[in-house]
Amino acid sequence: MTVTDGNPLTSTEARPGNEELVVRATALIPLLRKNAAATEAQGHLMEESLAAVEAAGLLRLLVPARVGGYQSDIRTAMRVGVELGRGDGSTAWCASLMYFGSWGISLFPDRVRNEVWGRSPDARFCGVFTPTSTSRYTEGGLIVTGRWAFASGCELAQWAGLAVPIVNADGEQVDVGMGLAPMSDLAIDKTWNVVGMKGTGSNTLVADEIFIPDYRIMSVTKAMRGEYPIEHFDEPLYRAAFTPVLLLVLTCAQVGMAKHALELVKASLGKGRGISYTFYEQSNLAPSTHLQIAGAAQLIDTAELHMMRSATVIDEAANAGVELDYETRCRVRADISTIVLRCREAVDLLLNVQGAGSFAEANPLQRVWRDLETAGRHAAVNPAIGYEVYGRATLGITEQVTDMI
């Protein structure tokens, strides 16, 4: 990126097309696969991997053009996440959360945009949506103390989005907000001791009496209603439906991981290996192999089709300047459930094809399996809840089980 006087607004770089952005992500797959084991071993992203994502311009994918970003669309962002997921699940998870985090920051007024991206459109974000903190009113903002678990990518982030209670001068909570704080204000408690998605470094952020100014706090309640504090109304991307976007992002890495698993098993079948305790000397000639490979491929296609359907309706509503209707938002929750379940089912079939050898520590398939099983249990994409939400909507029941719709 070429800039003048350190100001991204003077960039002379032409915005790459959507297909080019996907191609750039695909080109990173060999590096991400090479670093996957090391990423897992160290328990957080490797700087080399994230730097490559940044160098490809992918962190600015959803950053406003006004501050040097590419201001693409949700469909492209999801496709990029899938390609990164084909490389490494942990890196894809964190990178996609970072560039979708930039979409969330783009909903703030220009003062915040310029503070975050004033020198570079490649700022790195992490965030936690659960308000596990306390706030105290002070003139011009809030004094916040708290702990926020599962902040993926926090060790290489520069800014953190923190869910905080908004209180008035009497100490009464009047809202829930998303406060933006520099990572220099926070500590990291290394609590991420897990068997899957180990490389995400989803540790706990800790704040002790930090000040977050009012202008860096956005009402989550209003955002869920599509009321954003934006100052420009010629940027359709930043009219996209808040909750559907923030939940759908959790699926792109999972689709990519399932695709990686299929690639791994197909490659192993070309080595002439037989099926133990059978007369098949080449497993790739067995009908049982054909059926399971086809079944897995179809499940992955189903997951990706649902993912892209949701991304498409989000983009179309934003471009038309209309609110995504209630039933469609509920259907997005169901689509997310379908994506998560079909990816896990696909990998289960692929493990059957490759057999017990899938679980050898040297086999990358076992890491993909562990990562996918962990990512698919994120509380925000609980499949049963997603289907319950959609079921209620299709039956005309307006009382819901969650406000995350």
Q: What's the pLDDT at 8?
A: 52
- For residue 150, the number of C-alpha atoms closer than 13 Å in the C-beta half-sphere is 16
Summary mean pLDDT of the chain: 95
Find the mean pLDDT for residues 364-377.
98
Strands (E), 190-337: 203-213, 217-219
H, E, C per residue of 217-249: EEEHHHHHCCCCCCCCCCCHHHHCCHHHHHHHH
Share of the chain above pLDDT 70, in %: 97
What does the block give as tokens for 351? 């493990």
- Domains present along the chain, CATH in parentheses: 8-123 (1.10.540.10), 126-219 (2.40.110.10), 240-394 (1.20.140.10)
| Interatomic CA distance for residues 311 and 361, integer angstroms | 36
What pLDDT, in 10s, does the model give residues 168-210? 999 999 999 999 999 999 999 999 999 999 999 999 999 999 9
Q: What's the pLDDT at 116?
A: 97
What pLDDT, in 10s, does the model give residues 207-229? 999 999 999 999 999 999 999 99
**3-class SS at 198?**
helix
What pLDDT, in 10s, does the model give residues 237-292? 999 999 999 999 999 999 999 999 999 999 999 777 889 989 999 999 999 999 99
